[in-house]
Amino acid sequence: MLSLIPSPTIQFKPLFPSKTIKPLKPFSSKSSIQSVLQWNRKPELAGETPRVVVITSGKGGVGKTTTTANVGLSLARLGFSVVAIDADVGLRNLDLLLGLENRVNYTVVEVLNGDCRLDQALVRDKRWSNFELLCISKPRSKLPLGFGGKALTWVVEALKSRQEGSPDFILIDCPAGIDAGFITAITPANEAVLVTTPDITSLRDADRVTGLLECDGIRDIKMVVNRVRTDMIKGEDMMSVLDIQEMLGLALLGVIPEDSEVIRSTNRGYPLVLNKPPTLAGLAFEQAAWRLVEQDSMKAVMVEEEPKRRGFFSFFGG
């Protein structure tokens, strides 16, 4: 059962309040990888379908689009049908991350103008045919006049009543900020994934966004903490995931390490989760997808690897 924890008003305490947190071992521990690989059963889909999930953050550049692409493709690999909507109209880039930019001929704007059918605007991924991309409009164009929450809700309803059946997941990649584009993106959603990085500005925006989501009736909010660096946490230069969780009071869907492979995969248009062999960030995204399916969450736990040795923080908690 999902825990719905109300978001407390954020109180910024000294950066590292918890002195009990032990020094961290580098993330690439062999035992961490092994604990990840045991997640090999198919997750059970919880909740009513389609699950309409908005990926949001408030602050820009924290990893919303990266999360949408990687969680979306992970869901498809797990056997679920997924439509990812790029609702970041001004700075559309989900198509680039997915390597599908040359195949976007039509967008929602053309569908609404009656220039094409909805299925013509859906771009099917060649690698995973149960994954489709839908863009709102062409790059560098503004949000079409009058396009708002109602129009996006119409699109979601149209996806539900497609001939081949409703998708299991509709993921909405939200624009940064909390203005019109944000309101539009969250309107059709029933649940939210809030992406944050371990820095004060991102956390403050995340807290503000949590309040706005709750005002909009979205109470099922889980967070992904992205770009985590164990070496910096160890040096007390970065907030720990435990402290972030304490501040935001949200259920934790995943913790993604800082990984240069993410940037490489972004530039190649080949999402990280498709990499072989998998990288730690890719595995962390897969786990987040797995938890999303089951409406599960993880705990940021401290694990003693060996009693006589120094402890380390496990990102792959239960």
Q: How far is the CB of 95 from Mg ion (least distance, A)?
A: 11
Give the DSSP H/E element, type plus range, for residue 126.
none
Residue 65 C-beta: closest distance to ligand ADP, Å: 3
Count of CB atoms situated within 10 Å of the CB of 47: 14
Taking every pair of Cα atoms in the chain, the longest distance, rounded to a whole number of angstroms, is: 69
Q: Which does residue 184 touch among Mg ion, ligand ADP, none (CB within 5 to 8 A, set by kind)?
A: none
Instruction: For 275-295, give the secondary structure using H, E and C.
Output: CCCCCHHHHHHHHHHHHHHHC
Residue type, 164: E
Q: Which stretch binds Mg ion (CB under 5 A): 59-67, 72-80, 240-248, 270-278?
A: 59-67
- Smallest gap from residue 88 Cβ to ligand ADP (A): 7
Among 65, 137, 226, 297, binds Mg ion (CB under 5 A): 65
**Which of the choices ligand ADP, Mg ion, none does residue 281 contact, using the CB cut-off of 5 to 8 A by kind?**
ligand ADP
Report in angstroms how near the CB of residue 182 gets to Mg ion at its nearest.
Answer: 12
Of 21 and 84, the one with the shorter C-beta distance to Mg ion is: 84
Q: For residues 162 and 120, is the Cβ–Cβ distance under 8 A?
A: no
- Which residues sit at the interface with ligand ADP, rule CB under 6 A? 57, 60-66, 176, 226-227, 256, 258-259, 262-263, 266, 281
Rounded to whole angstroms, what are the CA distances from 35 to 38, 187, 217, 243?
6, 37, 36, 23
Counting residues that bind Mg ion (by CB under 5 A) gives 3
What's the sign of the alpha-carbon dihedral 164, 170, 173, 179?
positive
Q: What are the tokens at 71?
A: 């969680």
Nearer to ligand ADP, 45 or 54 (CB): 54
**Positions in the binding site for Mg ion (CB under 5 A):** 64-65, 88
